[in-house]
Structure 1
């Protein structure tokens, strides 16, 4: 039996935590799995409600702590404009990202953007250490633009 792609990616993210010597708790595993299976960004309370229904989470602060932890590990990103979280498309290396957020279907695509890495290096040249940088771009994906969704 073959494993679904979302399950495989979730397992890879959990394995990355283990390789770093970090605990792979049941809640961390479930949060990763839920985000991978959602296929779209999820708000913390939406994620909590989903996990609570499965009996996997008992309080919103626990979910927030896990999300903060996973973001610090580079496995998820917080989309500030949506107050939602999405899995990192390139969690195997540190990077600055650009997110293309479709206002029609709510889908998100993550792009690695060398220009952002260059900006971080330029900032470092002034003595400023960039801790986090991302760009969130809103518009319509190809599918929504073709069907007129979100018009």
Structure 2
């Protein structure tokens, strides 16, 4: 996928949500996010296998405020606020999510549901919020492909 095509896609809040990370478009994705002035955060989950590790990794990578409670509700609150890094759109890449998905599929599904809810909330304000899930395998068949 080209930078121009991604540029056009990323700017559309009605299309934003959670998708498989298109590895073939990695550089183009960074360029598109930069051209739109969207912060792009890559979170390496390769060593994350549980809820606590996930919540910690997300909180650190996105510089969540001190009031972040390291639980699902606090994650949802932070993802739908982001006032400490206000922008016209957001791109979050959850790299190497396989270990967490395999070790704790229920918690992984809960996490992705919270990211989807955040995307839906931001969409109401016309702000694109993208969560791209990077996996080495195609083990998360229900995730949509970024097209």
Question: Normalising TM by the smaller chain, what interval?
Answer: under 0.3
Q: Which has the higher contact order (CA 8 A, sep 6+)?
A: 2
Q: Which has the larger radius of gyration?
A: 1
TM-score, normalised relative to structure 1: 0.24
TM-score, normalised relative to structure 2: 0.24
